Structure 1
Amino acid sequence: MKPTQAASGSIPAILLAAGLGTRLRPITNTIPKCLVPIHGRPLLDIWLEMLIHAGLEPIYVNIHHHAQAVKEYLTASPWRDAVHLSPEPALLGTGGTLLAHRRQLDGGTFFVAHADNLSRFDVAAFLRAHKRRPPECVLTMMTFETDQPSQCGIVELDQRGVVTTFFEKCAHPPGNKANGAVFAMEPVIFDMFDTRPGSLPEISLDLLPYCLGRIATFHNDVYHRDIGTPESYACALQEYR
Structure 2
Amino acid sequence: MRAQLLAAGLGTRLRPLTDTVPKCLVPIAGRPLLGYWLDLLRDCERVVINTHYLPERVEAFVAALPEATRRRVVLAHEETLLGTGGTLLRQRAHFADAPFLVAHADNLSRFDLAAFAERHRRRPPGVAITMMTFETDDPASCGIVEQNGDGIVTAFHEKVADPPGREANGAVYIFDPEVLAAIAALGTPEVDLSTQIIPAFLGRIQTFANRDYHRDIGTPASLSRAERDFAAPAGAKP
* Deviation for aligned residue 1:67: 0.6
- In structure 1, give the amino acid aligned to 2:86: G
Aligned residue among 102, 112, 116 for 1:126: 116
**Distance in 1 between the 2:95 and 2:112 partners?**
22
Aligned residue among 77, 86, 99 for 1:87: 77
Write the mapping of 1:106-185 to structure 2, written as runs, cut at 5 A: 106-185=96-175
* Deviation for aligned residue 1:170: 2.6
Aligned residues: 229
Match of 1:56 in 2: 44
* Deviation for aligned residue 1:207: 1.0
Does 1:234 find its partner at 2:224? yes
* Deviation for aligned residue 1:199: 4.8
SS in structure 2 at match of 1:192: helix
Match of 1:6 in 2: none
Relative to the length of structure 2, the TM-score reads: 0.92
SS in structure 2 at match of 1:207: helix
CA deviations over 1:57-92 (Å, ceiling 9, x no partner): 111000011110000011011221210100011111
Aligned residue among 188, 204, 209 for 1:214: 204
Match of 1:205 in 2: 195
SS in structure 2 at match of 1:160: coil
**Distance in 2 between the 1:201 and 1:22 partners?**
21
Match of 1:12 in 2: 2
**Distance in 2 between the 1:147 and 1:202 partners?**
26
Q: 1:198 to 1:100 in 2, by over 3 A?
A: closer
Deviates more, 1:144-153 or 1:215-224: 144-153
* Deviation for aligned residue 1:169: 2.4
Does 1:71 find its partner at 2:67? no
Percent of aligned positions with the same letter in both sequences?
52
**Distance in 2 between the 1:236 and 1:106 partners?**
35
Match of 1:8 in 2: none
Relative to the length of structure 1, the TM-score reads: 0.91
**Distance in 2 between the 1:115 and 1:94 partners?**
11
CA deviations over 1:138-186 (Å, ceiling 9, x no partner): 0100000111222211110010001000122233322111110111110
Match of 2:215 in 1: 225
Q: Provide the aligned C-alpha RMSD in A.
A: 1.3
